[in-house]
Amino acid sequence: MTPVSSVTAQDPGWIGAYRLRWKRRRLLWRSFRSRSQLTARADRTGRIGAHDILAVATVRNEISRLPWFLEYYRRLGVDHFLVVDNGSDDGTAELLEQQPDVSLWQTWDSYRASRFGLDWMTWLQMKYAHRHWTLMVDADELLVYAHHETRSLHDLTRWLDQQGLGVFGAHMLDLYPKGRLDDQTYEPGTDPTRVVNWFDAGPYRAQRQHPMGNLWVQGGARERVFFAQEPRRSPTLNKIPLVRWNRRFAYVNSSHSALPRHLNFAYDGPGGSAPSGVLLHTKFLPEVVGKSITEKARRQHFHSPDLFGHYYDAIAKGPTLWTVSSVRYMGWRQLEELGLMSSGGWE
């Protein structure tokens, strides 16, 4: 896989830099204002220690995924979860409210109008995550990195600090089952990679964007199956989910890009040498078929929902994503050999 570290974005110049500073300030201001949309259901932030690793997430109707999600990240070393529940009606909020290491806020405001939850999460980061290593992940994303079976996030972030690195990037890898999506069975609280355990090893393409210098990685299974005719509309597959946070930082587009601009250059994408991991994207559990019908009607997940109706319709049919070229997921060493992540010299 070809690295993209040699592809650099043009310097924005002083005018561009000035505009980016004001863009960041506007994002922080709107996040500050969004605090009025949040109602605390369980505020345990007083328990956060000075060296705790935090995880931030926005969820809606994730009752089947959350037991494993919480167990997985606790084992990795997350000490406290800051979670926004966006109007769940399946018991998600009640489950989270009972967790001793979760602080929970709830809102019924628009997910799309909040920059897909970023305004809410940025406010929580501003208030509680300053100077903490902080992970931003969705309920269907499981972070893997070199030695993650035996070394915690505390070990990883301690090493990153020693290297002078404050950002850890990841490739988002779509996992899917062998067979139709609606023919599978998932037992809540179990490892979803037992059900969705195949992926596309490539092709993936990447380029840096002007003026922020953020990567744009595309390709893989969702492009192959759902966006073959319009590949530029296929999902963005790069994220910088783990950051030693500062209250002046702001994510711009999910965790795909951030400001200040220098944060985006810590990750050089597939084939790169910078330390990085993979977010195993377990979206294609069998529940995705029914959820696609619901989310198409809610119109909350894209800037222009009408352009992605065909995407929801195609998933709702329960298609088969697997092909003879699919690769079975075997662990982080396999992903590093394929160039999808890098240990970056961490032995």
- What residues contact residue 57 under an 8 Å CB cut-off, 6+ apart? 81, 82, 83, 84, 121, 136, 137, 138, 139
Task: Give the range among 74-78, 262-266, 296-300 with minimum mean pLDDT.
Answer: 296-300
pLDDT at 295 over 90: no
- pLDDT band of residue 13 (cuts 50, 70, 90) is confident
pLDDT at 248 over 70: yes
DSSP E strand stretches across the chain: 39-42, 54-59, 80-86, 102-107, 133-136, 141-144, 167-174, 198-199, 204-208, 215-219, 238-244, 250-253, 257-259, 276-281, 327-328
In the chain, what is the straight-line distance between the N-terminal and C-terminal CA atoms, in Å? 22
Crossing angle between the packed helical segments 118-128 and 13-33, to the nearest 10 degrees: 90
Task: Give the range among 18-22, 80-84, 191-195, 305-309 with minimum mean pLDDT.
Answer: 305-309
DSSP assignment of 62-100 equals -TTTHHHHHHHHHHHT--EEEEEEES--SSHHHHHHT-T
Model confidence pLDDT, tens digit, residues 227-236: 999 999 999 9
Q: What is the mean pLDDT of residues 264-286?
A: 95
DSSP code of 184? -
DSSP code of 180? B
Task: Determine the Cα–Cα distance for residues 166 and 83; give it in Å rounded to an integer.
Answer: 23
Q: Where are the domains of the chain?
A: 13-337
Give bridge partners of residue 250 from the DSSP assignment.
259
Residue burial 64-82, b: 16+ Cβ < 10 Å; e: rest: bbbebbbebbeebbbbbbb
Model confidence pLDDT, tens digit, residues 201-236: 999 999 999 999 999 999 999 999 999 999 999 999
Burial class (CB in 10 A: 0-12, 13-18, 19+), 1: middle
Q: Is 244 helix (H, G, I), strand (E, B) or coil?
A: strand
- What residues contact residue 137 under an 8 Å CB cut-off, 6+ apart? 55, 57, 73, 143, 241, 279
116, 138 contact by CB (below 8 A): no
Q: What is the mean pLDDT of residues 178-204?
A: 96
Residue 232: phi and psi, rounded to 5, are -70, -15
Whether the CA torsion 284, 137, 233, 113 is positive or negative: it is: positive
Model confidence pLDDT, tens digit, residues 49-99: 999 999 999 999 999 999 999 999 999 999 999 999 999 999 999 999 999
Q: What is the mean pLDDT of residues 307-328?
A: 88
Please give the structure tokens belonging to residue 232: 């530029």
**What is the pLDDT at residue 4?**
47
Task: Determine the Cα–Cα distance for residues 138 and 57; give it in Å rounded to an integer.
Answer: 6
**What is the pLDDT at residue 299?**
55
Average pLDDT, the chain: 93
- pLDDT band of residue 6 (cuts 50, 70, 90) is very low
Q: What is the mean pLDDT of residues 152-179?
A: 98
343, 146 contact by CB (below 8 A): yes
To the nearest whole percent, how much of the chain has pLDDT over 70?
A: 93
- pLDDT band of residue 289 (cuts 50, 70, 90) is confident
Give bridge partners of residue 133 from the DSSP assignment.
244
- pLDDT band of residue 176 (cuts 50, 70, 90) is very high
pLDDT at 9 over 80: no
306, 254 contact by CB (below 8 A): no
**What is the pLDDT at residue 291?**
80
Whether the CA torsion 110, 116, 122, 124 is positive or negative: it is: positive
DSSP code of 209? P
Task: Give pTM, 2 decimals.
Answer: 0.95
Task: Determine the Cα–Cα distance for residues 127 and 119; give it in Å rounded to an integer.
Answer: 12
Q: Locate tokens 């953020």: which residue?
A: 214
**What is the pLDDT at residue 158?**
98
